[in-house]
């Protein structure tokens, strides 16, 4: 089940990335030059960050729901950051 969830997230990221890249390519053709490319890449990065934030907040919400359903206390320490150090 866990693999299916992660596969679904991966597919969603792939679809969003494909759409953003296609959108970026069409806008680059109309905005040739370094400034146009920088704007397009910035919009793509913003979209990916927004998606990651939405997934993260959904995970925290689901975890809270599961903890409430199981009657488990929330951890005293904040959740560890999963970013590599």
pLDDT tens, position by position, 65-76: 999 999 887 665
Q: For 47-63, how does the pLDDT look when each residue is reduced to its tens digit (9 = 90+)?
A: 888 999 999 999 999 99
- Angle, helices 34-70 vs 2-30, to 10°: value is 160
pTM as predicted: 0.44
Residue 26 and residue 38 in contact, taking contact as beta carbons nearer than 8 Å: no
């Amino acid at each position: 089940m866990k693999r299916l969830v992660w596969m679904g997230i991966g597919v969603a990221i792939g679809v969003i990335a494909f759409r953003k890249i296609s959108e970026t390519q069409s806008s680059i053709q109309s905005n040739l030059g370094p400034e146009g490319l920088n704007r397009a890449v910035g919009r793509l990065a913003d979209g990916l960050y927004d998606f990651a934030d939405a997934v993260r907040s959904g995970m925290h919400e689901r975890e809270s729901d599961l903890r409430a359903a199981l009657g488990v206390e929330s951890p005293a320490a904040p959740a560890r950051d999963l970013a590599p150090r």
